[in-house]
Structure 1
């Protein structure tokens, strides 16, 4: 069996794309090129430089769009528009929501392909070990865990995670006599971790500082889902909402935004779990209802079936092959290993 991975020696982050494109130019012209979310402004000059060779070779070019490729900077959007008009790839999008935005940049959209989740890693089996150490004090307090896996980013940007909306929700839950502890797990790359400080200050002002924790990112996020009572994701313009799929695969209900990719996912099996993301009272009431509802387990079962059908690794690989026209060199290749 031939290798399906090409290793490119590291010569700096900025050189990875041009090196990869050089390697592509040496391959048979009928091999399709699949670019993965190459919309950052720093990538555009390299893509433009490769356009003549790619167009002359008639190599099929596809671009997988994982975000909306929007910018508050008109020059940034113009640069993307020029680059992708010249490159003229076919697009594969991670949601219909993404496709609705990306079609102005890449009109030729070939398919919607939800990103896969490893359902062996993310499963609804009972935990086999001890809880993560940094969750133990929260569990010992008797609080229900309201989990939000998300990087901490700047409020107001296109892909605003809207984490600040979680604090008023905790305050509403407290006012209603419910003991929930909000846990954000994610990276804060801001100078001096200003995003973290801002959230902690907000929790202090609303009287829920003792019910709110920010933990660093982890490669074992599935261990945290096991102990969550509910996952809350209130990003208004999330392109896909991977954490929603992971949570459902782990048997955890989700209260999520009624907009964007999060809404798109939940509409398939749990439209009643969607809420207006900036209405803390509605979010709190939805959490209470989801936790106490006798139908939640049935809804999670439907959600698990949907994840197995539309977000499996094997199905993802098969759809990539279908969309791009790839042919398997070895028909016995196990798609679970692609």
Structure 2
């Protein structure tokens, strides 16, 4: 049975971690592989791995003072872990870790196949691209993601697209007025809750959503914005960004219309309690939040960036708007709230698209084929 070692960068559970864990859980049920996680030993990720009974080898990119370790030290530590485990495949779950595994390929005789995930659309320098190209194969989460990196010099023969998938039984429509009142206790029953999910940061565009809602609240009082997510960065610009979101509501005397929920593990319940998902990211490779919302039949407003149009078509499955366009977001919110029957029709079509094309079974099968094709040690 092939042994896959999965290298995780962060101790948290965000889109990339959830996507990988959902696939690992499914493949373990089929007894196709044995898995070991190489990951930070403390945090939500390690807890979830324990629940899945996936062994964990401690590995962190940071020292005890939370400073990033030098690249050579990371290479040394990872080389030792791989030598001890002797997996058939070392798979890196993020672009940064894929770079690290590529550096091992360049500096050490390949003891196993090195593969990795590209889950970001970001500009890279030539050194990073060269490190990525030293892996045996790379998975992009969308065609847009792959095309972007190939344009930067990534070897297209080493890249392929495997879409993320979602458990359509865990994420499905089950509306409950009782559950809604429990999740949003201070929201009147006839008001509208707009939900946005994700890390609070500039690239996710939550400030543009806040500005759009603030514009609408100048003329009506029945809209609330719920933000499920936390700010991870302590940089001054990130702190100021989060404060600017709050100020949009406080300045207009509408502070009670902003619901800051923090990190949540009950996203499916929140999606069933909300009226619309608004996702205003400036760039989005293939958002897991969109998969989950669509599976829950929650009407969606989303920026037309990255891999999103590969998942959802404008007016058929969701309303797609241009990034950084506050007025377009506000207009789309009004459209979703005004024509509820059309919004529900789009949401039903979106669910069917996820069921047919982006379910976790399909994602697991595709990743299994990818790993099986590369399980033999490199020559």
TM-score range normalised by the length of the shorter chain: 0.7 to 0.9
Aligned-residue offset at 1:170: 0.7
Q: Is the 8 A contact 1:269 1:303 kept in 2?
A: no
Aligned-residue offset at 1:188: 1.4
Q: Is the 8 A contact 1:321 1:327 kept in 2?
A: no
Q: Is the 8 A contact 1:145 1:228 kept in 2?
A: yes
> Relative to structure 1, is the Cα distance of residues 226 and 134 closer, same or farther in structure 2, using a 3 angstrom cutoff?
closer
Q: Is the 8 A contact 1:146 1:232 kept in 2?
A: yes
Question: What is the aligned-residue RMSD (CA, Å)?
Answer: 3.0
- The corresponding residue for 1:117 is 166
Q: Is the 8 A contact 1:89 1:106 kept in 2?
A: no
- The corresponding residue for 1:94 is 141
What CA deviation, in whole Å up to 9, does each residue of 1:13-68 have, x standing for no partner? 556744543346x34xxx4443222425xx7456423435455x5x5443221112
> Relative to structure 1, is the Cα distance of residues 257 and 245 closer, same or farther in structure 2, using a 3 angstrom cutoff?
same
- The corresponding residue for 1:10 is 58
> Relative to structure 1, is the Cα distance of residues 50 and 20 closer, same or farther in structure 2, using a 3 angstrom cutoff?
farther
Aligned-residue offset at 1:272: 5.9
Q: Is the 8 A contact 1:48 1:83 kept in 2?
A: yes
The question of 1:299 aligning with 2:360 is answered: no
> Relative to structure 1, is the Cα distance of residues 83 and 315 closer, same or farther in structure 2, using a 3 angstrom cutoff?
same
The question of 1:65 aligning with 2:88 is answered: no
- The corresponding residue for 1:143 is 191
Aligned-residue offset at 1:206: 4.5
Alignment equivalent of 2:220, drawn from 177, 180, 183: 177
Alignment equivalent of 1:51, drawn from 106, 121, 136: 106
Q: Is the 8 A contact 1:90 1:106 kept in 2?
A: no
Q: Please list, as runs of the form range in 1=range in 2, the aligned pairs for 1:247-326 lying within 5 A after superposition.
A: 247-267=293-313, 270=316, 273-293=319-339, 294-326=341-373
After TM superposition, the structure 1 stretch with the greater mean CA deviation from structure 2, 12-21 or 107-116, is 12-21
For structure 1, which runs of at least 5 residues remain unmatched after alignment?
72-76, 329-338
Q: Is the 8 A contact 2:299 2:318 kept in 1?
A: no
Q: Please list, as runs of the form range in 1=range in 2, the aligned pairs for 1:134-283 lying within 5 A after superposition.
A: 135-140=184-189, 142-153=190-201, 155=202, 160-177=203-220, 179-191=222-234, 193-267=239-313, 270=316, 273-283=319-329
- The corresponding residue for 1:334 is none
Q: How does the TM-score come out when normalised to structure 1? A: 0.79
Q: How does the TM-score come out when normalised to structure 2? A: 0.71
